[in-house]
């Protein structure tokens, strides 16, 4: 049920393919509150990434509603505060939702600093000096200020992913969406990326994280969703999900991954 702390309310979300033959999402309902670190777990093909990508309409839902900051973003038009019908500005919406993918999506021909400042300058109209100062401060925070002049090819996978995270933060989003951010990394690089995410969680950033890292889900998440076959089968605290799983499907999944 929506509360004043609710940031995103998802109701009966569906994503079907081939005239309903494939149900990637089949009626998912969940509230994401401000300050939540919501971790989404489940087997491959369960709909986790489709759910995450639907939140900022990278995937267009077949049905259901996603209310973000009081606006149903699945509708092309909505009533503003004065009651006037206005067109949804999807680009403005996505500015409020930082997205970090498995594969870093950095521009290879631009330096790290240029990658960091491109959107704040082009999209938010920030001055170059201010954008660069902010970018360097964010790079400093993840220990990469000295790599500002480097190109992505000169960075390790873990370094690229840390840059991808702070590049999203440069847009000052209200929520950060992470789509398996460590799955493309060598095992020894996973920790450095998770450390950045843990720091964000401590600072109160609202986060939705699709991951196979069960240790992160237990330690950092305050809410865990378990998905299978396009459905949200169970949700609760890490203690409830990992310590007292109710559904046989979740029990079976945890037996395989823990």
The HSE-up count of residue 127 (CA atoms within 13 Å, CB side) is 3
For the stretch 75-106, pLDDT in tens is: 887 777 788 888 888 888 888 999 999 888 89
pLDDT for 1 equals 47
The predicted structure's pLDDT at residue 247: 94
The answer to whether 177 and 98 have CB atoms below 8 angstroms apart is: yes
- What is the torsional sign of CA 162, 164, 165, 171? positive
Averaged in consecutive runs of 10 residues, what is the pLDDT profile of the chain (258 residues)?
77 91 94 96 95 94 92 83 84 90 92 96 94 96 96 95 95 95 90 94 96 93 96 97 96 94
Residue of 69, 61, 77 lying closest to 29 (CA atoms)? 61
CB 163 within 8 A of CB 106: yes
DSSP annotation of 175: E
User: Under a CB-based contact definition with an 8 Å cutoff, are residues 226 and 235 in contact?
Assistant: yes
């Amino acid at each position: 049920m929506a509360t004043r702390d609710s940031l995103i309310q998802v109701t009966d979300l569906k994503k079907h393919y081939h005239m309903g033959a494939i149900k990637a999402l089949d009626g998912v309902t969940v509230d994401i509150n401000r300050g939540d670190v919501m971790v989404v777990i489940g087997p491959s093909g369960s709909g986790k990434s489709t759910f995450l990508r639907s939140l900022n309409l990278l995937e267009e839902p077949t049905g259901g509603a996603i209310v973000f900051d009081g606006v149903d973003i699945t509708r092309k038009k909505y009533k503003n505060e004065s009651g006037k019908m206005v067109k949804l500005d999807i680009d403005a919406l996505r500015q409020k939702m930082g997205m970090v993918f498995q594969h870093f999506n950095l521009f290879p021909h631009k330096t790290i600093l240029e990658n960091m400042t491109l959107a704040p300058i082009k999209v938010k109209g920030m001055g170059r000096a201010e954008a660069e100062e902010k970018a360097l401060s964010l790079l400093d925070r993840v220990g990469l200020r000295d790599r500002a002049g480097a190109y992505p090819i000169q960075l390790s996978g873990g370094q690229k992913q840390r840059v991808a995270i702070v590049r999203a933060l440069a847009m000052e989003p209200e929520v950060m969406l992470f789509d398996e951010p460590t799955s493309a990394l060598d095992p020894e690089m996973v920790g450095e990326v998770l450390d950045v995410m843990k720091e964000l969680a401590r600072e109160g950033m609202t986060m939705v994280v699709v991951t196979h890292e069960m240790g992160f889900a237990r330690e950092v998440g305050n809410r865990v969703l378990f998905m299978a076959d396009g459905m949200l089968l169970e949700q609760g605290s890490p203690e409830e999900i990992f310590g007292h799983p109710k559904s046989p499907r979740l029990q079976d999944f945890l037996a395989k991954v823990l």
